[in-house]
Structure 1
Amino acid sequence: MKGVVSILLSVVAVLFLLEAGCGEEKTQPRNVPPSIYQVIFSDENANSSVDSGDKIIVAFDRHIIVASNPVTSVFELSNGSDSFGTDPTMAQTSGHALTITLGGSPSLTVDSSNFITSQIRIKASVPFGAIKDATWGTSVTGGGSYSTVEGKVGYKAPRLQSAVYTDIDTSGSLTQGDTITLTFSGNVTVFTTATYWPGRTFILPVDWDGFGSGAYAQQTGPTTVVITIGAGAKFRVSGVHTVGQYAVDSPSGIDIAIKIANGLLTYDVGGGVKITVPPTAVDIQ
């Protein structure tokens, strides 16, 4: 009987942590390599062409660590005439994503409606440890299936730009009803006009950080979403969040949810087509 009670208490504890927002999915089983979940093109100067400085954001299915390697030693494009350009670069810009900045004279395949149709994958000869699971250290493997690059020339993908905490009741501590105001660099659309559980679209990457029980979010303007935290919320405003620093009580950040479902947080590229907003981690100020 004692064992049954212990199991029940453990289940209750897990359910409480999930409700409080402390159970967001950040890892996968040991020995399962990270895989690409979504790839998004951003026309950074919105000039309706693919050129130097444009971005390709590659999102993975978990938190990753990205080593310093040439782009072309890690990734390849399916079309032989496509190219990342001369001297492209890449950097980790989210706990679960990296951004490739195209180099000089790049080339991607664009259809008659100006949508990108290029495909990308990890190279079969990818250096060991080039991208690995942040928890288990499992390295990516290459040579698998290609992922389609989503995006349209002429459209810059909006990114999460800032997250500002407001102590609504001036209590000097996190209490239910306090808010985090998220601002994006361009217009976005959430999937509902009503309030919703913030964990559907956002993640607090530091271990054991959470939005709290009863937290909710709502879009309040074309570029803003406000999260109202719940009871038992946990995050740290002091200090500056650094991608890759997830130990308990590290300075807190916020990011787009890992493996976010299509349609939950999008931007419009015309013709009724909406694309998921790419991940970008920012500090909670």
Structure 2
Amino acid sequence: MGKPALARQICEGTEPAPRPSLRIYAPSAEMTAAANVVLSEFAPVEQATAEPAFRQLDPTPELLAELADASERLETAQPEEIIAWAHHRFAPHLTMATAFGPEGCVILSMLAKVAPETYVFNLDTGYQFQETLDLRDKIARLYGIEVDMLQPELTVPQYEAFHNGPLYKTNPNQCCFDRKIKVLRAAATKHHAWMSGIRRDQSTDRARAGIVEWDKKFNLVKISPLANWTKKDVWKLILDENIPYNPLHDQGFPSIGCWPCTRAVSEGETDERAGRWSGTAKTECGLHTLEQQDGSGI
């Protein structure tokens, strides 16, 4: 068989015949559309794994019985055990609300050991002491727990302009409701259970708190790891473990809330909440009251 024409020409020293020039035309709109259809039909489709939609818990008889049983079993448990149970039962839908009081700081120190991934938030009314805000940063540096600061829709200037002045002077119940209760209710829709730092020896309302119970006000399971602790228990742990706390406690403030409604207590005042809403019958912001009528107790 003879050599191919091109090879024969090279061997024989002759030049190959010139090739005709190639003209390239842009594809028409019809061709491009047809190609896109083909690609869409045969391109691989990524299958996203959809997470089940979050649903709030319903206080069924079965759930209420479970909570009552757990509360009874945990009555004599240490706070770390209660937190571990709560994390096992409700994570990742477990949260904690803290105002950075001594009890809250103690629980945060325990969370860092037991369940550091727990979502923690603060109801930032816009009226908090600077010392409280500084404590939040100190805890974040020490324990690695970033507390989310949840705020009302209106800033303090907007809120006071809307009410023609500071509402805490004329209607502190409504002020607490707007800047704390409503914010917590919105946050509650994303969780199944929340932990608080209340103690039974703090007030009449709190004296009836269970370790684990259903919170009708916020439609959540409420867990109080320090319910059966005393003030002395809390401060002993703070001093023993060098847990950060608000320096205002060393200046006569046993209980700290918003600066316009909190004062230092006088010598001889034994009620640790005597400095809150001084001069009124109000003793609670409403987060931990069991009953609420016409805004009282908020």
Which interval holds the TM-score relative to the shorter structure? under 0.3
| Length-normalised TM-score, structure 2 | 0.24
| Length-normalised TM-score, structure 1 | 0.25
Q: Which has the larger radius of gyration?
A: 2
Q: Which has the higher helix share?
A: 2
